[in-house]
Structure 1
Amino acid sequence: MSLRSSQWYSGNDRNSYMHRAWMRRGLPREAFDGERPHIAIANTASDLTPCNSHLNEVGKSVEQGIWAAGGIPLNLPVVSLGETNVRPTAMLWRNLAAMATEEMLRANPIDGVVLLGGCDKTIPSLLMAAASVDLPAVVMPGGPMLTGTFRGTPLGCGTDVWRLSEEVRAGTLSSKAFLDSESAMIRSRGHCNTMGTASTMACMAEALGMTLPGTSGTPAPDSRLLERSHETGRLAVDLVREGRRPSQVMTRGSFLNAIVTLAATGGSTNAVIHLLAIAGRLGVELDLDDFDRTGSGVPLLVDLLPAGRHLMDDLFRAGGLLAVFKEIADLLDPTAVTVTGRPLVDYLADAEIWDESVIRRRADPLLPDAGIAVLRGNLAPNGAVIKPAAASPELLQHRGRAVVFDSIEDVYARLDSPELDVDETSVLILRGCGPKGYPGMPEVGNLPLPAKLLAKGVRDMVRISDARMSGTAYGTVVLHTSPEAAAGGPLARVRTGDPIVLDVAARRLDVDVPEAEFAARKPAMDGHAEPVRGWQRLYIDHVTQADRGADLDFLTGSSGDYPGRESH
């Protein structure tokens, strides 16, 4: 076994002396004998990423597992993005976090890496980095929080924030009661307990084969999470010794398994963008239509908010993701391997469903067809997505009059005005919030409903945007319209009053305006914002559209280490 770290530590010259000497702060001489893999623990723990604040404890168990297997653990703090705190949107920095982690993995004397993530963008950015460097890697998800209750009712974090805040605006819940629920919403350490983006991406990591099978969904406070962390540390050492890399695990078959899993679990639409970006880093052929082709006809089996009723600790006690996989085993690629070297389907024999109200049998699904639907038409020539499982069935085929907003600030300024010309059949359109437009593609696509319609009892309307929405959100919301308005997409030419036609069954999204008239219109938006410096300048100049994963154009399709150069 030839270790990459030996390029730094072996030999008797001045440079190898310096590398060893500066690391001899607790590491014994045998740490540099060329036999012990040096394993980085890429750690996204941060007090400003509340969902990841416990990852230092998780990292300690990983560290112990690495020592036990004969490796050398090395804590490597990396960029951490807290979904609830970072402005204007954590997605603006996903690619920066991925790039920074990639460069640190390349630059340092490490042979493999354990990826500690939890909150929405942390697992995607870590997987993008690992895919680019292609060093042996394994994901250790931080796990969801336990369920809190308010007035005897379980709370789904995120989902119930949207629900309760709309009830306040509708006048059916007092502001005091809403604020009283705040301390009950987040019961414990861990990420969102709904099938939002954090839980979805943990499930995607397992479906891709990048976790120890059976790990994702283990609640953050559960002692078994630390047990799995120890096992993951041991596995990281084995990965180096066996030479198994992300490019050997995350194959096209693995990505198709992830798409099937996304449908069966009712996962977040954000997974579409993240999976496209990860595949792009590996050079794996994956496009937007794969989500419809592969996800179409897959039943929704997991009854979790926002598409169902239960929460993540219910899924764990009901049998977890392996029990879900067993129900859809015939839809999974049997050749797709995991980080253990064995196919994912090899781990399903002992899986059981212990609560059929949480994990439904294949013969009794929550929905028979739950895949993300990809829409095309003159409003989205490069595609848009909708999550039928979280939508109102009666609105999946709809014609209504457009009410257009040019920014989220425009929404806040006009939405609740008594003069706003809107009714329950209207289609709310938000533009200027795509990758370049805001920039960063914020989670604002699930527009709040106008107050005067809430007061009438309306709780859903068709909404269309070039933005994203939180994986914890729900409603008949069309997202990721591509190209976005700020990049010259057709949303920029829609006017209030235009007839909008949504037909999910036919996979269509159109404005019913004569083609010549629509093409001749001057776009209402002049383009994207023009930052003068820093990351936003680089981001806007190089970010791709949503249908390509919103990654930077110069980071796709290449992997591996840089040619070796050493200087001091």
Structure 2
Amino acid sequence: IPAIVVTGGPMLNGKHEGKDIGAGTIVWQMHESYKAGTISLDEFLSAEAGMSRSAGTCNTMGTASTMACMAEALGTSLPHNAAIPAVDSRRYVLAHMSGMRAVDMVREDLRLSKILTKAAFENAIRVNAAIGGSTNAVIHLKAIAGRIGVDLDLDDWTRMGRGMPTIVDLQPSGRFLMEEFYYAGGLPAVLRRMNEARLLPNPDALTVNGKSIGENTCNSPIYGEDQVIRALDNPIRADGGICVLRGNLAPLGAVLKPSAATPALMQHRGRAVVFENFEMYKSRINDPDLDIDASSVMVLKNCGPKGYPGMAEVGNMGLPAKLLAQGVTDMVRISDARMSGTAYGTVVLHVAPEAAAGGPLAVVQEGDWIELDCASGRLHLDIPEAELAARLAQWQAP
């Protein structure tokens, strides 16, 4: 049936000690500062109180903002739906216009099946790279595509995302927040910049207003040159597309978000520190006797859709307090979980098959060596094939 997307919009910028702070992202940052002993509990609570100043979704490029951008990139919402703040009167106007347009779509028989084509999903994947979007877009777009009957898989993310720079300088990957993104021109400005550089793969893709996505954005203004929306030759990450990883540790794939990762860790070999489940992680992570250092690879099992269950957003495991106190800010982390789009770090997610389904992740042992190479898309457990096969043969479901 004809349909149009209107999202609630992001909340206003958070404020703390004269600075803008991002909902969600600042929680991860300040929680680790608190664990490291560099801020007090009162300071943490003070920042928390200034984080959410209005109704709306997270004001970072978290999952809600990402999916609002995906709706706009897919052509299922009117231009600017993604970024107008929730409490801005222009969101009411957009909702009114969307309602009027929905009636016209019925008269025109303009159904989502005509809009949600493979071309639209290719545009969305490329846009996700440009905005530094959440890894949750991978599973959400897969679900939407499945409902509409479009074949979409991890290879499409590699094919369309590779080489696309991240040009939207928003937290958690960058500096700014959704309010500034709207004032800079919002997603239409990003789409224009991409299209002018021939980086929007399908500018003729149809949208809900009856025009192509290229037509909708060809004259969109871009404000604050090279600030919130950067020039293509000055990106925050030259290759911002979701990194799809495969190997003997992830035969069916895993994903990593390059724009929020530490470049020096995107090619890494380290010794595994294993947590069989999230409860074990919570009980062990701050043990001063835990055998872990900055080069270790933290491995969390049994947190996928089957294992937890429900695939909780726990993949961005907080670092050990003793390493935070030493100034460590990131480590390679691997799990079958997902994570909040507001989070950051060199975090490998959605390892498949998941541990609870008997995937190789289930048999990783403390002290095993793991190799991560984002450039080649490789995630490798460095043990002989025969040993891996033997471990899998002996594995029993928890």
TM-score range, shorter chain: over 0.9
Per-residue CA deviations over 1:439-486 (Å, capped at 9, x if unaligned) read: 111100000101111111101000000000000000000000000000
3-state SS of paired residue (1:227): helix
Partner residue of 1:168 out of 5, 17, 34: 34
Describe how 1:367-516 pairs up with structure 2 within 5 A: 367-516=237-386
Contact 1:493 1:524 (C-alpha < 8 Å) held by counterparts: no
3-state SS of paired residue (2:172): coil
Report how far residue 176 of structure 1 moved: 1.2
Report how far residue 313 of structure 1 moved: 0.3
Describe how 1:104-123 pairs up with structure 2 within 5 A: none
Task: Return the alpha-carbon distance in structure 1 between the equivalents of residues 293 and 160 of structure 2.
Answer: 36
**Which runs of at least 4 in structure 1 moved beyond 2 Å after TM superposition?**
522-528
Q: Which AA in structure 1 matches 2:253?
A: G
Task: Return the alpha-carbon distance in structure 1 between the equivalents of residues 231 and 327 of structure 2.
Answer: 34
Report how far residue 214 of structure 1 moved: 2.5
Describe how 1:119-518 pairs up with structure 2 within 5 A: 135-329=1-195, 330-332=198-200, 333-356=202-225, 357-518=227-388
Report how far residue 254 of structure 1 moved: 0.2
Contact 2:192 2:219 (C-alpha < 8 Å) held by counterparts: no
Task: Return the alpha-carbon distance in structure 2 between the equivalents of residues 511 and 366 of structure 1.
Answer: 31
Contact 1:486 1:526 (C-alpha < 8 Å) held by counterparts: no
Task: Return the alpha-carbon distance in structure 1 between the equivalents of residues 171 and 234 of structure 2.
Answer: 18
Task: Return the alpha-carbon distance in structure 1 between the equivalents of residues 256 and 372 of structure 2.
Answer: 11
Computed over aligned residues only, the root mean square deviation of the Cα atoms, in angstroms, reads 1.1
Please identify the structure whose Cα radius of gyration is greater.
1
Task: Return the alpha-carbon distance in structure 1 between the equivalents of residues 41 and 49 of structure 2.
Answer: 14
Per-residue CA deviations over 1:417-460 (Å, capped at 9, x if unaligned) read: 11211111000000100011011111000001011111111010
Per-residue CA deviations over 1:124-172 (Å, capped at 9, x if unaligned) read: xxxxxxxxxxx11000011000002111121100000000000000000
How many residues are aligned here? 394
Contact 1:206 1:213 (C-alpha < 8 Å) held by counterparts: yes
Contact 1:492 1:524 (C-alpha < 8 Å) held by counterparts: no
Task: Return the alpha-carbon distance in structure 1 between the equivalents of residues 242 and 155 of structure 2.
Answer: 10
Task: Return the alpha-carbon distance in structure 2 between the equivalents of residues 418 and 388 of structure 1.
Answer: 31
TM-score by length of 1: 0.68
3-state SS of paired residue (1:478): strand
Task: Return the alpha-carbon distance in structure 2 between the equivalents of residues 214 and 176 of structure 1.
Answer: 38
Percent pairwise identity: 58
Q: Which AA in structure 1 matches 2:187?
A: L
Q: Which AA in structure 1 matches 2:103?
A: V
Task: Return the alpha-carbon distance in structure 1 between the equivalents of residues 235 and 39 of structure 2.
Answer: 33
Unaligned runs of 5+ in 1: 1-134, 529-568
Contact 1:485 1:525 (C-alpha < 8 Å) held by counterparts: no
Q: Which AA in structure 2 matches 1:286?
A: L
Q: Which AA in structure 2 matches 1:344?
A: I
3-state SS of paired residue (2:362): helix
Q: Which AA in structure 2 matches 1:406?
A: E
Report how far residue 256 of structure 1 moved: 0.4
Contact 1:437 1:527 (C-alpha < 8 Å) held by counterparts: no
Distance 1:231 1:217, change over 3 A: same
Task: Return the alpha-carbon distance in structure 2 between the equivalents of residues 189 and 523 of structure 1.
Answer: 52
Q: Which AA in structure 1 matches 2:199?
A: L
Report how far residue 363 of structure 1 moved: 2.4
Task: Return the alpha-carbon distance in structure 1 between the equivalents of residues 393 and 124 of structure 2.
Answer: 38
Q: Which AA in structure 2 matches 1:220?
A: A
Contact 2:297 2:334 (C-alpha < 8 Å) held by counterparts: yes
Task: Return the alpha-carbon distance in structure 1 between the equivalents of residues 81 and 362 of structure 2.
Answer: 44
Distance 1:416 1:385, change over 3 A: same
Report how far residue 522 of structure 1 moved: 4.9
> Counterpart in 2 of 1:58?
none
Report how far residue 335 of structure 1 moved: 2.5
Task: Return the alpha-carbon distance in structure 2 between the equivalents of residues 335 and 185 of structure 1.
Answer: 40
Higher relative contact order (CA 8 A, sep 6+): 2
Task: Return the alpha-carbon distance in structure 2 between the equivalents of residues 505 and 228 of structure 1.
Answer: 41
Task: Return the alpha-carbon distance in structure 2 between the equivalents of residues 358 and 518 of structure 1.
Answer: 47
Contact 2:268 2:371 (C-alpha < 8 Å) held by counterparts: yes
